[in-house]
A and B are shown apart, each in its own frame.
Chain A
Amino acid sequence: MSEKTAERVANATPVHIARKIKGLSDRTIAWIFVGPTIFLLLAINIFPLIWTVNLSFTNFKANRINRAIDYVGLRNYERILTDTDVWLSMQATAHFLFWTIFFQVLIGFTLAWLINKKFKGNDLWTTIIVLPMMLSPAVVGNFWTFLYQPQIGLFNYVVAFLTGRDASSFEMLGSVDLAPWSIVIVDTWMWTPFVMLICLAGLRSIPDYIYEAAEVDRASKLRQFFTITIPMVLPFLMLAVLFRGIENFKMFDLVVQLTGGGPGSTTELASIHLKREAFEKWRTGYSSALAIILFVTVFGLASIYVKALNKVKGK
């Protein structure tokens, strides 16, 4: 903006507004703009976090607010970290985390590799594959509950058709052995497209001349795949793994809608266990300590994620 234009704009400001602003330094004006955001951040994010840390050292129960609150030191943490129920919920989370990531990476990368090949209807297929990711977890959980119905569910009929078993002979959501796998299947169905998109971005970032140079050197397709494609997509793949790892560690809505943590506590993931402790047993202090443990774990994973992200950006 030229000096004359700037002057004209300044003169166009109504006198009463100009008079009000007069006397405020740039720093003050900046604080006026930034202040509300900082206040909201402190009120919505930082204060509840500090409050939860404080509660985690007490025996507070949210359904008995008139009861005296005693500070119990590290006893809540000690109880959680020696509680076999929490340990089992962590193992359920680990099972869910490991297998969802394994299948999502495997299928997501394969799909990305196929989509990356130029063929007719490429864009249409990408859109179709990406559709599940756009749905709400509540919706996905609801319609997969219908698909898993042993009497009328499509899933049981497909399995029966492929294996020759009776369709109503097994129950995906009601069986102790099958329920952990049922949530893995649904999460894989929903989030594989996300991994596929990240892998696709990685595959499309590889310049063609590298493959051309490999062709000149008479490298086979298999060798090109293992020495060019995989190493160059690996940072992107790592990013997808970390991102899905963090998200699935916090998984709540989809599993609650599908199994509610059952049968028994076989699909009770850490976040569902936390919710039960906090709002069914009303052990607020104890559940605050568990929330802090989960927070530190996710925060640690997020730190690695940011580091990996910077590495990818650097490349």
Chain B
Amino acid sequence: MSDFFKGLMQFRRGPWEMVATILIALGVFMLMQPFVLWAFTYSFITTLIGTVMFIIVSHFPE
């Protein structure tokens, strides 16, 4: 776990990609869930942030 945070602080690709992946997956879940409308409303911005983050962090060093 500490390696993960250490990687985040040092701008390493692996942990940041993980964060971006979680954001994308969360955004897709929020888009399709049948429970609350506000989650659907904020789904696009979550996915967009995750996707843009993924593009940026994939250029970080390993």
Contact = CB atoms under 8 A, between A and B. Distances in A.
B35 to A, nearest CB: 10
In which size bucket is the chain B interface? 20 to 34
Interface stretch (A137-145, A157-165, A168-176, A296-304): A296-304
Contact of A296 (B21, B41, B51): B51
Contacts of B43: 81
A97 B24 contact: no
Contact of A87 (B24, B37, B48): B37
A115 interface: no
A197 to B, nearest CB: 26
The majority secondary structure among interface residues of chain A is: helix
Interface in B13-62: 17, 20-21, 24-25, 27-28, 31-34, 37, 40-44, 47-48, 50-51, 54-55, 58
A77 interface: yes
A300 B32 contact: no
Interface in A288-315: 293, 296-297, 299-301, 303-304, 307
B59 to A, nearest CB: 13
Interface string A73-98: 00001000110100100110110010
A97 B21 CA distance: 19
Given A81-B44, A87-B40, A296-B47, A303 B34 contact: no
Interface in A165-209: none
Contacts of B21: 303-304, 307
B25 to A, nearest CB: 7
Given A81-B40, A81-B41, A307-B21, A299 B32 contact: no
Nearest to A81: B41
B17, B32, B37, B58 — most chain A CB neighbours (10 Å): B32
Contacts of B20: 303
Given A84-B37, A90-B32, A94-B34, A304 B44 contact: no
A91, A299, A300 — most chain B CB neighbours (10 Å): A300
Contact of B32 (A94, A303, A304): A94
Interface residues of A, number: 19
Contacts of A93: 32
B40 to A, nearest CB: 5
A91 B20 CA distance: 24
A77 B44 contact: yes
Interface in A109-150: none
Contacts of B55: 303
Contacts of A77: 44
A288 B48 CA distance: 16
7 contacts: A91-B32, A94-B34, A293-B44, A297-B47, A300-B24, A300-B50, A303-B21
Interface of B: 17, 20-21, 24-25, 27-28, 31-34, 37, 40-44, 47-48, 50-51, 54-55, 58
Interface of A: 77, 81-82, 84, 87, 90-91, 93-94, 97, 293, 296-297, 299-301, 303-304, 307
Q: Top 3 A-B pairs ranked by shortest CB distance?
A: A94-B32, A300-B24, A300-B51
Given A91-B32, A296-B44, A296-B51, 17 more contacts: A81-B43, A82-B37, A84-B37, A87-B40, A90-B40, A91-B34, A94-B32, A94-B34, A97-B32, A297-B27, A297-B28, A300-B28, A300-B47, A303-B20, A304-B21, A304-B25, A307-B17
